[in-house]
A and B are shown apart, each in its own frame.
Chain A
Amino acid sequence: MWDLLIINPMVNTLLYIYSVIGNFGIAIIIFTILIRLITHPLTVSQMKSAQAMQEMQKSKEWQELQKKYKDDKQKLSQEQMRLYQEMGINPFGSCLPLLIQFPIIIGLYQAIIRALATTPYQLLDLSKHLYSFINAAEIIPLNNKFLWMDLSQPERLPVFGVGIPVLAIVVVITTYLQQKLMTPPPAQPGDQTAQMTQMMNLYMPLFIGYISYTLASGLALYFVTSNVVGILQYAAMGKLNWKNLLSFRSQPSAQKNVGKKK
């Protein structure tokens, strides 16, 4: 089912783009943009949902609930749920797009590896998943070279005999930028949530960077493209949070903002 619904369409779309363009790196970039465009409504919904949640958490009613039931977690949860319902906010609304992304990333990685088919066993497997409109005999083996990279291998740019993982570094930077630019300021700065968000902003880029460092560079190319397109999407909607980018210790500045509002 996974193959039928996710992998096969991805592999064949990638190969189709490759058959037209003739360059697998560019095929990955075009494919990633395509995926981001298809999931654009989800991105918008995630953004709106997160924004609504932020607004709600800044509301007086929410703050009062926190104070009133600070010693009764269960009651606090119930009241918070009630507030969610009253304000018509789905607490899972901002999680759904994240969940949708997850099969896409895994599917895309598998699709890239499957399409590149660097071993006979993989090629035999690929031959069974091709749609009839793909002229596989003509395009196989794929040219997996893109710029200085072999897209089927982890990327290293040799500089004076030392392999520098340039793409992995770019992945870390763009993931960090994306997170910083797209994360709204915390509703209650200094609390556990804000600290964890800050932690995630730091660990997520490192984690994605590590994946890019160790796995095939085709995936790293996807991450970079996806990050850049994500930033552009938010920029087009006028939702980039430039202040966040410069605040390495978000707590004090965020606290100031809240203070002003009060």
Chain B
Amino acid sequence: MDPLRFNLLINLTRILIQPQKWNKKIPTELVFAIFFLLVLATSLTACSPASLMSNWPGSAVKDRIVYLAYQAHVYAIQAENGTELWRFPKEADNKLSFYAPPALSPDGSQLIAGGFNHILYSLNPENGNEQWRFEESKYPYIAGPLITKDSIFAPTSDHLLYALDRQGNKRWEFKTGAPIWATPLYDPDCECIYIACLDHILYALRTRDGALLWKTDRLEGAIASSPVLSEDGILYFGTFGKLFHAFDLRSKGDIWTYTASNWIWGSPLLIEDLVIFSDLSGNVIALDAKNGAERWKVTTNAAITAQPIAVQNIIYIGNEAGDLYAIDLQGNLIWQQPKKFDGKILTPALTADEVILIPLVAKDNLMVAIKQDGGQVWAYQPVK
């Protein structure tokens, strides 16, 4: 408990039990009982779900506009200079916060954002006006939705995946065994989606009607991020059981696995013949995508949960300590020292016109834009 709150409690207790008011000696047990109640009240309130709901930002970028969902708002920010274009809602509502990254429809006419208040919003990307809302979920949206030409697939922590049409009408739902924290992955070849779930299972569903096409056995750990699909039909994903899987869609089995030293949280990156991913020990690992042989490994100083991104064959990945690393495809560090940010980097960076956009878990700057040499272009701090 911080000293300020402690002093406040002491003073409140004194006021409540001041002798001149009660005119009698108050037993020590009562003094402590009142003190106890006050401390309990403030401590529990301070650690109630509302205050523990520290989250991390989710972002998307299209046509030089960044959409950042974090805390009480979804922000639209100009990628070249960090100017805020709009925010949703206009006034903060203490019942509404955003955990899930927003998603833009392929035609750019809809921005879908799921709230922690169990509501899925469709916004106009041009001005942030609400188009419709879907209120059927009883639990928060943690994962970002997937939007195809005619459908929206919105996973919830209600153990459900909702399939909606683009007007927000429910088409079907699919129940899993645990919350879904990963955005579904669309595969046009089978007209199906792959859902990685915390119940340790990867599902394949037909997009038309939600029919289960197949699912994996219960794996060694929860899957918290989306798989990545290669052109030759291999799904790459990692689990909290420290295993990284290369899963062949034809045989419905692993062609190889790799054991990391800690939980694997973020999605991998496929680039050239490499698959690159990270773990909570702070390792960035590059494997040969064909056979899983380790090509290189870079160890950073803190947990990594974000997916790496590549800009002109340079890998950028940040960690919980707020350090951003630039690594070439041979595993060499581009910068002698990582670029240090005042905040945690827990979600993937984005790129727009060769500018790298870093979403931060921080009090002040929610997003920082840098050039490829690490020089800062702008920092976005929302006006309160």
Contacts and interface: CB of A to CB of B under 8 A. Distances in A.
Interface of A: 50, 53, 73, 76-77, 80, 91-92, 94-95, 98-99, 101-102, 105-106, 109-110, 113, 118-124, 127-128, 136-138, 140-141, 152-153, 191-193, 196-197, 200, 204, 207, 211, 214-216, 219
B24 A119 contact: no
A148 to B, nearest CB: 14
B97 to A, nearest CB: 10
A120 B28 contact: no
A109 B39 contact: no
Contact of B29 (A94, A119, A214, A215): A94
B29 A102 contact: no
B39 A102 contact: yes
Interface in B316-343: 320
B257 to A, nearest CB: 14
B245 to A, nearest CB: 14
Interface string B241-277: 1100000000000000000000101000000000000
Interface residues of B, number: 52
Contacts of A105: 40, 44
A204 B41 CA distance: 11
A102 B40 contact: yes
Closest 7 interchain pairs by CB? A137-B221, A192-B24, A137-B241, A95-B32, A106-B43, A137-B240, A141-B198
A151 to B, nearest CB: 12
B53 interface: yes
A37 B24 CA distance: 37
A238 B25 CA distance: 31
B53 to A, nearest CB: 6
B300 interface: no
A140 B221 contact: yes
Contacts of B37: 204, 207
Nearest to B43: A106
A136 B200 CA distance: 12
Nearest to A207: B37
Main SS of the interface on chain B?
loop
Contacts of A80: 25
Contacts, number: 122
A152 B26 contact: no
Given A106-B44, A137-B241, A191 B24 contact: yes
Contacts of B202: none
Interface of B: 19, 22-30, 32-33, 36-37, 39-41, 43-44, 47-49, 52-56, 99, 140, 142, 157, 178-179, 181, 198-199, 220-222, 224, 239-242, 263, 265, 280, 303, 305, 320, 346, 361
A89 to B, nearest CB: 11
A109 B47 contact: yes
A128 B320 CA distance: 12
A109 B220 CA distance: 29
A193 B27 contact: yes
Contact of B239 (A73, A98, A137): A137
Contact of A98 (B32, B181, B263): B32
Nearest to B34: A200
A192 B22 contact: yes
Given A106-B40, A106-B47, A121-B56, A193 B26 contact: yes
Contacts of A211: 40-41, 44
B227 to A, nearest CB: 17
Contact of B49 (A92, A136, A216): A216
A10 to B, nearest CB: 13
A178 to B, nearest CB: 14
Contacts of B41: 207, 211
A219 B24 CA distance: 36
A124 B266 CA distance: 12
A102 B44 CA distance: 11
